[in-house]
Structure 1
Amino acid sequence: MGLLSSFASPKNVQVYALPTGWVHLPDKWLFEDGDDDIMKARSRFPDYSFLICHPSGKNILFDAGMPKNLDVIPPLNRSIDHIFEPQVPKDARDLLSEGPIAPDSLSAIVLSHIHFDHIGDPSTFPDIPYITGPGTKEAALPAYPTNPNSTMLGSLLDRDNYTELSWTKDKWTSLGPFSHVHDFFGDGSFFIVDTPGHLPGHVIGLAQTKPDEWVILGGDCCHHRALLNGSRQVSLTGCPGGTSMHKDTAVALKSIEKLRKLDQDETVFVALSHDASLEGKMPEYPESLNGWRESAWWGAMRQERLQPTAA
């Protein structure tokens, strides 16, 4: 029995991982003990989007990854392209088009937060509603281009079909270690989980893929497996301006602690948006993550994680 067993639903969703490209991040931005040479000590990280298919026929994306057209990214982000080196051979729309779920059939795109590597190119999904966590817009305004120094895209926030979950109008309850979760489809198959810290309004996804089998879509709750399992410490001062990668570091650390509890549960698989340890192992769309507990890929990954040197 897992921590979430009492919340089991008769309904499951299908979950698929979409690899929307790569971005490079300096060790010092991630880890307190990281190398100070941010150009030399960098690693390439994937950027995952996730497709959620509900038995009703409704399909949503959780995060939309990076845009293939990098010119839509706010200039302040582009100014450090020499560090990020973003690579997007295929974006979420391209990847969906190659499988059975048509991009324009999506019911919604739910965002963990609104950094450029999670929103995709909203102009390529003009008719699909975008949904974010509570407080996202207020914290982001004024966004680019009204504020030329903003890293947030104003055209996303200005869309007629942009909405935020509301603390008052939407129903929230507690689940496991988390005090605020929203039952997205209303049947216990997929939850939006409040995980503040990285940005105001940051959320993660919690999907039931089989009875007593769950997949967590971890967004940027943290950026590396070693930060999730606690084997290395979050960088507190290594980012530009002497800060961490999180808007509110103290709150982010509490969110990581809560997520860590579920990561230690044998019924829960945590997929962080930038977890390089998943590359080449976790199935990718159109192959589903459902049934991961009995899968060979999970068995191999679990053994690897049990090794003393595993991150």
Structure 2
Amino acid sequence: MAQNTPALPLPNSEQAYCNVAALEGGLLILKSKLAIAGAADDDKHVSPSLAFLLTHVRSGKRLLFDLGVCGLVPESPALTPPFKNIFIETFEPRVPQDVPASLMAGGLSPSDITQICFSHVHFDHVGNPTLFPNARFLVGSEARALFEPGYPEDPNSPYMSTLLPEGRTDFLDTKGADWKPIGPFPCALDYFNNGSLYIVDAPGHLLGHLNMLVRTSSDGGWIYLAGDSAHDWRLIPTYRDGEICMHHDKEQAAETIRKIAGLMKLPRVRVLLAHDNEWFDENRVKFKPELEPQTLTAVFKV
């Protein structure tokens, strides 16, 4: 018998919430057959690598979720020599507008950003951290193992040991006492301690994979930023391998996908994937530079 998904917390009388703006962070070619069993050879699409600017409405604090692809792809600090050509040839990344340019189009500078949370540390999500000199970086604690050692200490590693800024990176222990259940998810951190933004442990895709559950209104709207929990909507609610497994642990990935499918049954919840090409194509007009990121929030209200 199917279990009901636990409800999300109701808003209180003075409920805090966050404005949410989607930012362009480069484009990839995703071949469906890599991720979806039975997909045709010519089933491929141009997909965004989305980043999100979250602004706490009361304090004005800003947090970025992911940084997309580095604007100068061959110089990406996330691509190690053994894997650079493989990733570039497989995914054909191009960056008409990177996250720093997207911020500046909205009147902000990378130096205005003080907090950045990575869903995970793949090259199409971490951009170029060196362009954000005032930011602290939030990373799932399990990701630490990917850099022990990284390249060049391990010449075969796909992860640069220098990627995460030393002294400005906080590894979040998702097993800590502050991580508590919310909705279908067993471990989430109430980041601002007022129910406006939850960092969610979303295991499966890569060690340290995190999602975000963001309250978008004072009366009960939510957005779930799913990162790479799934690379295509055809994988929700049921994950199945394509030519390769796109996840570090496919059993955990399948369970995370099931939880997201349960979340989608709750009222006033919108789920966005990091590479959500259908949503991006439908909403591309809303990324015009003359629109400040904060003004885009109404588009994403639920």
Question: Which amino acid in 2 is paired with 1:50?
Answer: F
1:51 has 2:53 as partner: yes
Take 2:202 and 2:101, find their aligned partners in 1: how far apart are those partners? 29
Equivalent position to 2:119, from 105, 112, 125: 112
Where does residue 71 of structure 2 map in the other structure?
68
Structure 2 portions without partners, runs of 5+:
none
1:144 deviates by: 2.3
Structure 2 counterpart of 1:68, which letter?
G
State the Cα distance separating 1:277 from its structure 2 match: 1.1
Q: What letter corresponds to residue 89 of structure 2 in structure 1?
A: H
Cα deviation, residue 43, structure 1: 2.1
Counterpart CA distance in 1 for 2:104 and 2:39 is 39
Deviation, 1:34, is 2.1
| Superposition map of 1:4-83 within 5 A | 4-9=7-12, 10-35=15-40, 37=41, 40-54=42-56, 55-70=58-73, 71-72=75-76, 73-75=79-81, 76-83=83-90
Partner of 2:235: 227
Q: Give distance in 1, aligned partners of 2:39 and 2:241.
A: 8
| CA spacing shift, 1:7–1:74, aligned 2, 3 Å | farther
Structure 1 equivalent of residue 269 of structure 2: 268
Deviation digits for residues 237-256 of structure 1, max 9, x if unmatched? x12xxxx0000001100000
Aligned to 1:247: 248
Shift of the 291–125 alpha-carbon distance from structure 1 to 2, 3 Å rule, reads closer
* Deviations 1:157-191, CA, capped at 9 Å, x for gaps: 35210111124656111001100000111111000
Instruction: Provide the rounded CA distance (Å) in 2 between the counterparts of 1:120 and 1:8.
Output: 34
- Is the CA contact 1:217–1:273 (under 8 Å) kept in the aligned structure 2? yes
Give the aligned residue type for 2:92. Answer: E
CA distance in structure 2 between the partners assigned to 1:80 and 1:188 by the alignment: 38
Report the TM-score when normalising by structure 1.
Answer: 0.84
- The 5-angstrom pairing of residues 121-140 of structure 1 reads 121-140=128-147
Write out per-residue CA displacement over residues 94-139 of structure 1, whole angstroms, 9 at most, x where no aligned residue: 1101113332111211000000000011121133111111211124
TM-score by length of 2: 0.87
Gaps in structure 1 of 5+ consecutive residues: 295-311
Distance in 1 separating the partners of 2:300 and 2:115: 25
Output the amino acid matched with 2:263.
Answer: L
